Amino acid sequence: MQAQQLKQIDVERFMNEQSFSSFHRIIFAVCVVVVMLDGFDTAAIGYVAPSLVSEWNVAKPDLAPVLSAALFGLAGGALSAGPLADKFGRKAVLIVSIVVMGASSLLAATAGNLSGLTIWRFMTGLGLGAAMPNAVTLMSEYCPVRIRALVTNAMFCGFPLGASFGGFLAAWMIPQLGWRSVLLLGGAAPLALAAIAVVVLPESARYMVAHHYPAERIRAVMKRISSAASDAASFVLHEHEPPSAIADKRGLALIFSRNFIVGSLMLWIAYFMGLVIFYGLINWLPLLLKETGLSAQRATMISALFPLGGIGAIYFGFLMDRYNANIVIAIGYVLTAVFVYLVGQTAGVLLMITVFVAGVVMNTAQSSLPALAAAFYPTRGRASGVSWMLGIGRFGGIAGSFLVAELSRRQMGLDEIFLVVAIPAIISAAALVVKQVVHPHAAPHSVAKDLPAH
């Protein structure tokens, strides 16, 4: 009887019964570097902006297309990569995306004017936008459900860490090596990572089962997780999801289906509004602080404290695995509104503390949404669901960049600018409350309770 059971493995249950092994750590390491590179490259242009103003003798409003070009690319990359990954696999789309990201950043470093830089920043964004959702999806599909939010959030901490590291590094590199050196580094590192990923990354086992790959190919990957899979003759995938009315739907058809559409819309709104805040501040905070009389280097250093606060997402992941994930993140956005508003009311040392705390709560809440989305969708639409949330959200980044530019053009004071920028956080919190009301049983912790706690 036992031998008979070993011939077929339910991948969902098998994954959830495993400990977090060296196999998982390899995937985690590659994916967290992908997310760090995304954060570094996305933020780099904001730190480069003051150098562009002086070297190319352009006005601040003229930088808006350059600052937002990568965001348009990010949106396009994310919206297309999810459906592609649901069709062709997570690994292939992820590696191609990393290569596009690296090559385009190298070419951006050769630009001689705003138009050329805008084009290559857009192409860099395409790679960035496609890479991150696939990294999130691949990690979440290998992680045991009892710690999925914790691990996914820990991985996503790479984004604010990469952005913050980019700020500190740029503050040193630009005076020493020029602004182009930042983009060169942002291009060389992804190309090196792509070469490593080709060798060490597996394709998602859940994806392979859902797409009826040969048993021997699935077995080869599953044996790397546990030798218990060595004798399996076949593999199945039984996931918690709404009834059979959507059993024939995949990719975009699934995320737009009646069972998921409200939750999808609420995730999009929450992520969109969060990125209005993040990109509005990451792109313009150095310039806004410089206008208060701070030196360019000090303004950059203080601004770099904002994305550094994203390390708090690890704690939120812990809470999401134990309590209602929608409500946990909604509380994070309410706190975000409070502290972003306070940034415009402080100065001196208190300003540094407030910027850091605002970054902690804002980035913690924002970095938790990919884990929430990954848990909300089944394998047949997970890459599309996560990537469309990230893709739609990127338009919030575009809106945030132009919003702060417009507020600055109207010569509003810092207190008024930060009051306006705080409002989207309240909207994000409200969207997650609506998601909870409509999908009360879809929060990650409600699934974890039904599974073994090995």
The answer to whether residue 1 is domain-embedded is: no
Residue 229 to residues 19, 219, 241, 386, 452: CA-CA distances in angstroms? Answer: 14, 6, 25, 29, 18
Residue-wise pLDDT for 407-417, tens only, equals 877 878 778 88
Residues, the chain: 454
Q: The pTM is what?
A: 0.74
Q: Report CA torsion sign: 211, 215, 220, 224.
A: positive
Which helix (H) or strand (E) segment holds residue 8: the answer is: strand 8-10
Q: Locate 95 and state its tokens.
A: 């590696």
> ∠ at Cα 364 (47, 345), nearest 5°?
65
Which ranges of the chain have pLDDT less than 50?
Answer: 1-6, 243-245, 445-454
CATH code assigned at 330 = 1.20.1250.20
Phi and psi dihedrals of 9, rounded to 5?
-120, 130
Q: Report CA torsion sign: 59, 65, 68, 74.
A: negative
The answer to whether residue 453 is domain-embedded is: no
Q: In whole angstroms, what is the distance from residue 123 CA to residue 383 CA?
A: 21
Residue-wise pLDDT for 1-24, tens only, equals 444 444 688 888 888 888 888 889
The answer to whether residue 454 is domain-embedded is: no
Q: In whole angstroms, what is the distance from residue 170 CA to residue 267 CA?
A: 33
The answer to whether residue 170 is domain-embedded is: yes
How buried is residue 346: exposed, middle or buried, by Cβ count under 10 Å (0-12/13-18/19+)?
Answer: middle
Domain that holds residue 207: 9-448
The answer to whether residue 174 is domain-embedded is: yes
Half-sphere exposure of residue 302: CA atoms within 13 angstroms, side-chain side: 26
Query: Which of 237, 238, 232 lies closest to 3, judged by CA?
Result: 232
Domain tally, the chain: 1
Residue 240 DSSP class: -
The answer to whether residue 55 is domain-embedded is: yes
Q: Where are the alpha helices (DSSP H) in 259-324?
A: 261-290, 296-303, 305-308, 313-320
